[in-house]
């Protein structure tokens, strides 16, 4: 019997619609109209409309520490169905998500319990460096994550989705869905197909 494959699945911007709520709260505070296309680099603090403003950058990161922030995030279209299909295909799914904020760690666990009850509570890793986990595949939008994972695990299958901020990760991915952030339901179909076609 072939070995069960292990696939690491990121949460933010892969499974949870973090930018809608994040930018929404920021815009509500400052009366701005930031959209995802304004987030052109990983460090979102450098993308605020007025970098000289005394509070915009710090507030952007403070949102991540607001109680209820993560719990309020909606699952991205196609995510629950896609993870369920990969799970049904016999893959071992590990939710691998980073945070450095205690309240977010708690709420991320609760979020997974609510939205992915079939995953199991033992299959959630909250940490920072995903490359310390050994797996056959990774689904992630973070350019630093895909680069580090490729470097340590040259044979892993790495799938990602284009966002305005992650061009630097492109070269390290086996699948990088162009324009995929605009249609995550279609992107998730491509992720599932990719792992089915590469066994
Ligand atoms: Mg992410």
- The mean pLDDT value of the chain amounts to 96
pTM of the predicted model, to two decimals?
0.96
Would you say residue 132 has pLDDT above 70? yes
pLDDT band at 120 (very low <50, low <70, confident <90, very high): confident
Cα–ligand 1 centroid distance for 1 (angstroms): 33
Cα–ligand 1 centroid distance for 142 (angstroms): 5
Cα–ligand 1 centroid distance for 5 (angstroms): 21
From the CA atom positions of the chain, what is the Rg in Å?
17
Ordered DSSP codes for 9-40? E--BTTTB-HHHHHHHHHHHHHT----GGG--
What is the per-residue pLDDT for 3? 66
Cα–ligand 1 centroid distance for 119 (angstroms): 18
């Amino acid at each position: 019997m072939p070995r069960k494959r292990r696939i690491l699945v990121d949460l933010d911007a892969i499974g949870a619609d973090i930018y809608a709520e994040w930018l929404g709260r920021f815009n509500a505070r400052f009366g701005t109209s930031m959209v995802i296309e304004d987030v052109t680099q990983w460090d979102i603090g450098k993308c605020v409309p007025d970098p000289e403003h005394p509070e915009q950058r710090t507030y952007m990161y403070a949102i991540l520490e607001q109680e209820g922030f993560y719990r309020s995030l909606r699952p991205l279209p196609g995510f629950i169905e896609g993870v369920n299909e990969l799970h049904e295909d016999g893959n071992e799914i590990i939710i691998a998500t980073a945070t450095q904020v205690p309240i977010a760690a708690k709420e991320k666990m609760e979020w997974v319990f609510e939205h992915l009850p079939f995953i199991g509570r033992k299959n959630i890793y909250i940490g920072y460096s995903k490359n310390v986990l050994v797996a056959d595949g990774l689904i992630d939008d973070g350019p630093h994550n895909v680069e580090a994972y490729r470097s340590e695990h040259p044979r892993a299958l790495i799938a990602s989705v284009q966002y305005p901020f992650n061009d630097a990760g492109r070269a390290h991915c086996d699948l990088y869905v162009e324009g995929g952030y605009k249609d995550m339901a279609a992107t998730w179909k491509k992720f599932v197909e990719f792992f089915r076609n590469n066994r």
